[in-house]
Amino acid sequence: MKRILLWFRNDLRLHDNPALRAACAQADEVIAYYCFDSQYFGDKKSAFPRIGARRTQFILESLQDLKESLAFLNIPLQISIGTPKDGIQALHQNFPIDAVFYSEEFAYEEIRQTEALKSLTIPLRSFVSNQLFELAELPFPLYKLPRGFTTFRKKLEAAISPAAAFPPPPAPQSISPVHSTPLPSLIALGLRPDAIDERAALKPRGGEKEGLKRLKAYLFGSQNISQYKETRNGMIGPDYSSKFSFWLANGSLSPRKIYQEIKSYEVQFGANESTYWLYFELLWREFFRLNAAKKGANFFQMPLAYHSSVDAQFEKWRQGKTGHPFIDANMRELALTGFMSNRGRQNVASYLINNLKGDWRLGAAWFESALIDYDVYSNYGNWTYLAGNGNDPRGQRSFNIDSQQERYDPKGDYVNLWLNF
């Protein structure tokens, strides 16, 4: 009798989940496990938490959905607060585990989580999920990943396309004697509920089913994908861009599934520059992930006391009180909803770095706290890119905020929405 523990991380889905598929195929019994790592929760000393209430709420909704879906496969979901190592060890003591399967992550803290598991003497097996390509599929070894995005994209596009996403696996043979644990409350995680403002571009609900619903709606429902390239720099409402980032961030949606649906949309309704451009943007996401995979623990490490250098100027930026309407409108949208458009993110980051001469790491830390769609690779990748420490061959990027405002909010609708209501 073989019992596999499946440690869920940012892969909260049944579809296109290689670790789940392998566990169901190889084990008689599967136990699913998720850990709210206490290094991210309960810090009362900092100006803002590592993970804010809205993202935590979104994760809780995603876990509820996952738990319900796993029940159809007779797989219980165990949840703990603490460290993954302690949680897995405690389970192992009561229900001896033959192996731990999990999806690989490439950033510093995530690498430390998996390193810690090695002392448990349980066989570990990792899988690459949450990206368009397996590392072995790439047309170059990882250490030769091109430094610039354009070279990366061209090499990739000349050689490969993403494999098809696979459906949820059949249930393992045996029903586990382990019961699912109830989800913790926000309060138990040291957070107070924080509603999403009514003006939000979208009020997302967490979970695989909701992610798949949004995918269907943006493609086959509204067919907004056919105008994506023209609308993607918009700033108001649900449909100027896909909003897939919410579900991609914790893996409720797989990028290969998105690619597959884009392809079937193109067969039905025709391909154009816009349908391609959504894939192009997913390649940006892939690029930042692979950069982290290449650099390992050197990708980025936040200094330990990273909140301690918060000063009055940074606080004005964070709270949307700089006096620049375009910056303040975007920062208030972020603080009140947990989302900001890509156009907004570029501008507020440039403003902090170039106009205020602030510490970009603090800006990135605030994004990490406030964004529902926070993703370690895309967030720190984009911030380092704009700060000139990353992969932009042109060095530091500076935006002229006034002309950006004129171009992207010519009638002032966006600024009015966030500053004058």
Ligand X SMILES: Cc1cc2nc3c(=O)[nH]c(=O)nc-3n(C[C@H](O)[C@H](O)[C@H](O)COP(=O)(O)OP(=O)(O)OC[C@H]3O[C@@H](n4cnc5c(N)ncnc54)[C@H](O)[C@@H]3O)c2cc1C
Q: Which residues bind ligand X (CB under 6 A)?
A: 232, 241-245, 248-249, 278, 281-282, 284-285, 288, 341-342, 345-346, 349, 367, 371, 373-375, 378-379, 382-383, 386
| Half-sphere exposure at residue 378, Cβ-oriented, CA atoms within 13 angstroms | 22
Of 349, 329, 124, 161, which Cα lies nearest the Cα of 236? 329
What is the C-alpha radius of gyration for the chain, rounded to an integer number of angstroms?
21
Residue with Cβ nearer ligand X (67 or 345): 345
d(CA 226, CA 102): 36
User: DSSP letters along 227-271, please?
Assistant: GHHHHTT--SSSSSS--THHHHHTTSS-HHHHHHHHHHHHHHH--
CB of 55 to ligand X, least distance (A): 10
Residue 212's SS3 state is helix
CB of 245 to ligand X, least distance (A): 3
CB of 230 to ligand X, least distance (A): 12
Longest dimension (CA), the chain: 67
Q: Which residues contact 183 (CB under 8 A, 6 or more apart)?
A: 60, 63, 64, 67, 79
Residue with Cβ nearer ligand X (185 or 301): 301
CB of 200 to ligand X, least distance (A): 13
CB of 108 to ligand X, least distance (A): 16
Label residues 164-182 b or e (16+ Cβ within 10 Å = b): ebeebbeebeeebebebee
Residue with Cβ nearer ligand X (63 or 371): 371
β-bridge mates for residue 8, sequence order: 34
Please check whether residue 278 is in contact with residue 228, taking contact to mean a CB–CB distance below 8 angstroms: yes
CB of 153 to ligand X, least distance (A): 13
CB of 70 to ligand X, least distance (A): 25
Q: Could you tell me the CA-to-CA distances from 307 to 178, 298, 338 in Å, in that order? A: 40, 21, 19
CB of 71 to ligand X, least distance (A): 29
Residue with Cβ nearer ligand X (78 or 250): 250
d(CA 415, CA 347): 14
Residue with Cβ nearer ligand X (283 or 415): 283
Residue with Cβ nearer ligand X (80 or 260): 260
Residue with Cβ nearer ligand X (35 or 348): 348
Residue with Cβ nearer ligand X (88 or 258): 258
CB atoms inside a 10 Å sphere around CB 278: 22
CB of 406 to ligand X, least distance (A): 20
**Residue 160 has which token pair?**
């490969």
Residue with Cβ nearer ligand X (241 or 252): 241
